[in-house]
């Protein structure tokens, strides 16, 4: 087992360039994840990247360590087995907002409720990228997508609040624009013993940006900057204002014993 | 504390007629009695051993002493009164329910992980695992649904724990996507489907045998799958072990199709001290450039577990031998072809159907599960009434044992497939070339009774009148 200092060790160089669109934020998210692994000196053979199905799910093709890509929405359920059968592994789930927030939502709630020792990352591009820009549960109300040409009817689902309420030990949100903040959150999440969720808002210029006339990829980053406010500021806003913004920051940070610790201690189930 | 002597006796020994065990065990019997372990007993038991007799030639042979682990012995049975010495065997007999035997079989095969979601008539498997696994260092986890249950099982298997789940029709339907995933990504695991009656929610506690095709074709895409069908509580135990072994051998999910009757039936089960277990082997060769999905000569790859220095890349997308996803038509075609061939070309390694009956029967009854039990009884009774009925009891249902079926049916004038569905195996028998086969089917939760089979045969067989 050698300690890894830079992210080169974690990258499958021969698989690059990646398939993501120019200006897509997923590459930045992957890079921050790899930097966090390097920073924490997690050995290659002890890390597993379990991804969902979608643009973000392809991240596994670009890493040189253990990877898993299951069925759409089920990454956390597969990862639950991966972790429980070998708790020495650092298990990371990288999911899209559709993957985690629609088809796989119950697994998010239950993973958080169990406080299972997994780091979950939701790359929230506010729509279904892989299938061509349909609305997802996290698409803001009124946003244009290929299946909501007149504007989305229902308001957005806040996955972070859900996970925090369900009992996750660590919950935070940032954006690809605030990438250093995001990296700190990823490290904190990886250091968490228990369930951790980091949601990272990321530009999808190809679909969400184009449909909503948000301009170039750079313009979309600016949009993410303008559209987000720190959590304490957000809390002071009224309902109407809150509809206009996403909060950023750490929503939950606690140290409840994780599922396996409690399971082994009491030999009780859940 | 106990000492143990294994005593093998021939079934035909009239002295053993009193023993319950004689009825249960097919060829040889083990008689059980507890003997306290002390020097005197060891010595006296040794002196009573018949000398110079080999197991093959003797009717009563003292085969072996087992002084280790003898406290495993739990069951006392009747020893024929004329036998003046006592014998104890390491093979435990237990009076078990089918579901219990299935859970114990899985654990005996080395399973340490069970994820499931409660459903009748399979729930006892989960309940028993929740009691037995934690003290062994294993995991029982109740997931939020069956999709998650099989997902967790697949994940655990990839981290190196033998893993299984158990469900019934509705849950089995929910698992189908992940079954296909496990086939595609070559993850050994066992899925027990205790079949209930009907489609939809059916009747939760009543039996059916109508998930045969769901097991074969439930998941989308071309594929092959292994499915076993126990017809007794003993087979629930044995075939669950077999399922785990086959899952490792073929690196593929294996389905155990039980029906609600067998699952809730209670019978004596022989639990051997040691079972034959196939353990996962670790890859060898250079770590750099390792190709997890490069197949061996038998078309099965040797995959590492997560946590190994050999890197494992798993995806349900078409993937190359490195495990990287690929959209190359040749890669896709070869992968699907290999996944099918690795099972179909080696199907002779799977449990063979069991034939019971006269050498050249007029009637062959093909059946499985609880229906096969009725068929066996019908053949026996029919024999006494002058009918010549042979029974082919399936153990492997997928891949369908075509050769054994055609061989057995070759000369029979009447071939009847007895099953509690609308003819799911009948189609396979016909597809195997036995187009004259007819079905005795029932889909009303009632078990097909031996008398019904005899009447059915009598009505249709010209040989019946003789
Ligand atoms: C069971 C199932 N339903 C639908 C799909 C099709 N599908 C593939 S990716 C995807 C959505 C991806 O959206 P998201 O999770 O937000 O990820 P993104 O592509 O935006 O990164 C869908 C619906 C699928 N693969 N499996
Ligand atoms: S469609 Fe959107 S999310 Fe997918 S790669 Fe392109 S920009 Fe990224």
B289 touches chain A (CB under 8 A): no
Query: B182 and B37 in one domain?
Result: no
| Surface of B (294-323) touching A: CB under 8 A | 305-309, 311-317, 323
Residue A47 host element (H or E): strand A47-51
Is A86–B157 a contact, with Cβ atoms under 8 angstroms apart?
Answer: no
Chain A residues within 8 Å of chain B (Cβ atoms): 12, 15, 44-46, 48, 50, 58, 60-61, 64-71, 74, 77-86, 88-89, 106-107, 109-110, 263, 267, 269-270
Q: Which of A266, A249, A267 is nearest to A171 (CA)?
A: A249
Range of the domain at B457: 355-465
Q: Can you tell me the distance from the alpha carbon of A198 to that of A182, in angstroms, rounded to the nearest whole number?
A: 8
Residue B4: the pLDDT is 29
Query: B322 and B235 in one domain?
Result: yes
Query: B226 and B106 in one domain?
Result: yes
pLDDT surpasses 90 at B85: no
HSE-up (13 A, CA, CB side) for residue A171: 22
Residues having CB within 6 Å of any atom of ligand 2: A 20-21, 24, 26, 55, 125, 129, 204-207
Query: B387 and B333 in one domain?
Result: no
Query: B232 and B162 in one domain?
Result: yes
Nearest CA to ligand 1 atom 24: A72
Query: B84 and B122 in one domain?
Result: no
**Cα B56 versus chain centre, distance:** 29
Q: What is the mean pLDDT of residues B276-298?
A: 96
Query: B283 and B177 in one domain?
Result: yes
Q: Can you tell me the distance from the alpha carbon of A47 to that of A11, in angstroms, rounded to the nearest whole number?
A: 13
Query: B280 and B196 in one domain?
Result: yes
In order of start, what are the domains of chain A with their CATH numbers? 2-269 (3.40.50.970)
> Ligand 1 pocket check: which of A50, A57, A131 to mutate, most ligand atoms within 8 Å of Cβ?
A131
Q: What are the tens digits of pLDDT across the range B98-128?
A: 999 999 999 999 999 999 999 999 999 999 9
Residue A168: the pLDDT is 98
Which CATH number fits the domain that encloses residue B371? 3.40.50.920
Tokens representing residue A181 in the block: 């903040």
Tokens representing residue A90 in the block: 């650092």
Residues having CB within 6 Å of any atom of ligand 1: A 52-56, 72, 96-99, 123, 125, 128-131, 136
Query: B335 and B198 in one domain?
Result: yes
Residue A217 host element (H or E): helix A217-227
Among B53-67, B115-129, B199-213, B412-426, the minimum mean pLDDT is found in B53-67
Q: Can you tell me the distance from the alpha carbon of B172 to that of B193, in angstroms, rounded to the nearest whole number?
A: 7
Percent of chain A with pLDDT over 90: 95
Extract the runs of DSSP E, i.e. beta strands, from B67-149. Answer: 92-97, 111-116, 139-142
B132 touches chain A (CB under 8 A): no
Q: What are the tens digits of pLDDT across the range A154-179?
A: 999 999 999 999 999 999 999 999 99
pLDDT surpasses 50 at A5: yes
CB-based contacts of A91, cutoff 8 Å, min separation 6? A48, A50, A79, A82, A83, A117, A118, A119
Query: B179 and B49 in one domain?
Result: no
Query: B68 and B199 in one domain?
Result: no
Q: Can you tell me the distance from the alpha carbon of B317 to that of A81, in angstroms, rounded to the nearest whole number?
A: 20
Residue B106: the pLDDT is 98
Q: Please give the number of the atom of ligand 2 that sits closest to the Cα of A208.
A: 2
Nearest CA to ligand 1 atom 16: A98
**Domain stop point among B325, B351, B377:** B351
Contacts of A12 in chain B (CB under 8 A): 324
Under the banding of pLDDT at 50, 70 and 90, the label for residue B16 is very low
φ/ψ (deg, to 5) at B223: -165, 170
Rg (CA), chain A: 18
| Average pLDDT of chain A, as a whole number | 95
Among A10-14, B47-51, B158-162, B365-369, the minimum mean pLDDT is found in B47-51
Q: Which of B145, B189, B197 is nearest to B171 (CA)?
A: B145
B325 touches chain A (CB under 8 A): yes
Task: Compute the 3-state secondary structure of chain B and give helix, strand, coil in percent, each to the nearest 5.
Answer: 35, 25, 40
Which CATH number fits the domain that encloses residue B289? 3.40.50.970
The alpha carbon of residue A205 is apart from the nearest alpha carbon of chain B, in Å, by 25
Q: Can you tell me the distance from the alpha carbon of A77 to that of A114, in angstroms, rounded to the nearest whole number?
A: 12
Percent of chain B with pLDDT over 90: 78
CB-based contacts of B107, cutoff 8 Å, min separation 6? B129, B132, B133, B136
**Domain stop point among B351, B376, B396:** B351
Q: Is A147 exposed, middle or buried (0-12, 13-18, 19+ CB in 10 A)?
A: middle
Nearest residue, CB atoms, A74 vs list B151, B156, B314: B151
Nearest CA to ligand 1 atom 1: A72
- Residue for token pair 């002597």: B5
Residue B266 host element (H or E): strand B266-271
Contacts of A66 in chain B (CB under 8 A): 306-307, 311-313
Task: Give the number of whichever ligand sits closest to the CA of residue A220.
Answer: 2
**Domain stop point among B351, B373, B399:** B351
Q: Which of B300, B169, B313 is nearest to B246 (CA)?
A: B300
Under the banding of pLDDT at 50, 70 and 90, the label for residue A204 is very high
Q: Scanning every residue of chain A, which has its alpha carbon at the shortest distance from the alpha carbon of B317?
A: A69
User: b/e string for B37-70 if b means 16 or more Cβ within 10 A?
Assistant: eeeeeeeebeeebeeeeeeeeeebbbbebbeeeb
Q: What are the tens digits of pLDDT across the range B304-337?
A: 999 999 999 999 999 999 999 999 999 999 999 9
Q: What order of strands is seen across the sheet that includes strand B389-393? A: B354-356, B389-393, B363-367, B414-419, B438-441
pLDDT surpasses 80 at A268: no
**Ligand 1 centroid distance, CA of A145 (Å):** 15
Q: What is the mean pLDDT of residues B244-273?
A: 97
Query: B326 and B195 in one domain?
Result: yes
Q: Please give the number of the atom of ligand 2 that sits closest to the Cα of A132.
A: 1
What is the number of structural domains in chain B? 3
């Amino acid at each position: 087992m050698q300690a890894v200092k830079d992210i080169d060790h974690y990258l499958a160089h021969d698989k690059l360039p990646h398939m993501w669109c120019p200006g897509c934020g997923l590459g930045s998210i992957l890079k921050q994840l790899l930097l966090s692994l390097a920073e924490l000196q997690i050995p290659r053979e002890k890390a597993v990247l379990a991804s969902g199905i979608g643009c973000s799910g392809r991240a596994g093709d670009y890493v040189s360590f253990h990877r898993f890509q299951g069925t759409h929405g089920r990454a956390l359920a597969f990862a639950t087995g991966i972790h429980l059968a070998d708790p020495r592994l650092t298990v990371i789930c990288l999911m899209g907002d559709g993957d985690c927030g629609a088809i796989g939502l119950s697994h998010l709630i239950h993973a958080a409720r169990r406080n299972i020792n997994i780091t979950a990352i939701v790359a929230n591009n506010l729509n279904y990228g892989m299938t061509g820009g349909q609305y997802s549960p996290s698409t803001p109300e009124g946003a244009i997508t290929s299946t909501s040409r007149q504007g989305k009817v229902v308001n957005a689902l806040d996955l972070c609040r859900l996970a925090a309420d369900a009992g996750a030990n660590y919950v935070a949100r940032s954006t690809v624009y605030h990438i250093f903040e995001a990296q700190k959150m990823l490290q904190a999440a990886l250091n968490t013993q228990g369930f951790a969720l980091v949601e990272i808002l990321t530009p999808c210029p190809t679909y969400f940006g184009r449909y909503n006339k948000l301009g170039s990829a750079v313009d979309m980053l600016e949009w993410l900057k303008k559209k987000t406010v720190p959590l304490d500021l957000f809390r002071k806003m009224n309902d109407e204002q809150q509809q206009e913004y996403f909060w950023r920051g750490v929503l939950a940070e606690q140290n409840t014993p994780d599922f396996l610790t409690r399971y082994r201690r009491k030999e009780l189930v859940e | 504390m106990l000492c143990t002597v294994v005593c093998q006796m021939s079934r035909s020994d009239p002295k053993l007629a009193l023993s319950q065990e004689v009825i249960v065990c097919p060829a040889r019997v083990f008689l059980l009695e507890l003997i306290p372990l002390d020097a005197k007993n060891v010595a006296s038991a040794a002196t009573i051993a018949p000398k110079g007799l080999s197991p093959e030639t003797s009717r009563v042979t003292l085969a072996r002493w087992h002084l280790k682990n003898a406290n495993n012995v739990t069951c006392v049975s009747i020893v024929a009164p004329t036998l003046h010495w006592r014998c104890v065997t390491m093979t435990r007999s237990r009076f078990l329910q089918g579901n219990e035997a299935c859970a114990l079989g899985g654990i005996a095969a080395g399973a340490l992980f069970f994820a499931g979601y409660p459903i009748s008539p399979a729930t006892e498997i989960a309940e028993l695992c929740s009691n037995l696994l934690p003290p062994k260092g294993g995991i029982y986890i109740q997931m939020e649904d069956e999709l998650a249950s099989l997902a967790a099982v697949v994940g655990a298997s990839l981290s190196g724990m033998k893993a299984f789940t158990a469900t019934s029709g509705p849950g089995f339907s929910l698992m189908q996507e992940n079954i296909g995933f496990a086939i595609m990504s070559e993850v050994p695991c066992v899925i027990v489907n205790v079949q209930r009656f009907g489609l939809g929610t059916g009747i939760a506690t009543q039996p059916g045998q109508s998930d045969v095709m769901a097991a074969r074709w439930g998941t989308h895409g071309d594929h092959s799958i292994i499915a076993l069908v126990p017809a007794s509580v003993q087979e629930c135990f044995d075939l669950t072990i077999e399922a785990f072994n086959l899952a490792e051998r073929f690196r593929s999910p294996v389905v155990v199709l039980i029906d609600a009757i067998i699952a809730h039936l209670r019978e004596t089960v022989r639990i051997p001290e040691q079972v034959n277990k196939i353990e996962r082997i670790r890859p060898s060769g250079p770590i750099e450039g390792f190709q997890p999905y490069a197949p061996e000569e038998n078309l099965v790859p040797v995959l590492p577990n997560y946590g190994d220095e050999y890197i494992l890349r798993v995806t349900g997308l078409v993937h190359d031998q490195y495990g990287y996803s690929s959209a190359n038509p040749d890669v896709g075609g070869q992968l699907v072809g290999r996944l099918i061939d690795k099972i179909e070309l080696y199907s002779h390694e799977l449990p063979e159907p069991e034939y019971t009956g006269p050498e050249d029967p007029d009637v062959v009854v093909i059946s499985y599960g609880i229906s096969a039990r009725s068929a066996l009884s019908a053949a026996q009774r029919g024999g006494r009434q002058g009918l010549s009925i042979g029974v082919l009891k399936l153990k492997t249902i997928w891949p369908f044992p075509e050769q054994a079926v055609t061989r057995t049916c070759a000369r029979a004038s009447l071939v009847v497939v007895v099953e509690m569905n609308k003819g799911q195996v009948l189609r396979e028998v016909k597809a195997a070339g036995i187009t004259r086969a007819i079905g005795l089917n029932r889909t009303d939760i009632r078990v097909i009774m031996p008398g019904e089979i005899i009447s059915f045969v009598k009505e249709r067989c010209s040989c019946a009148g003789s």
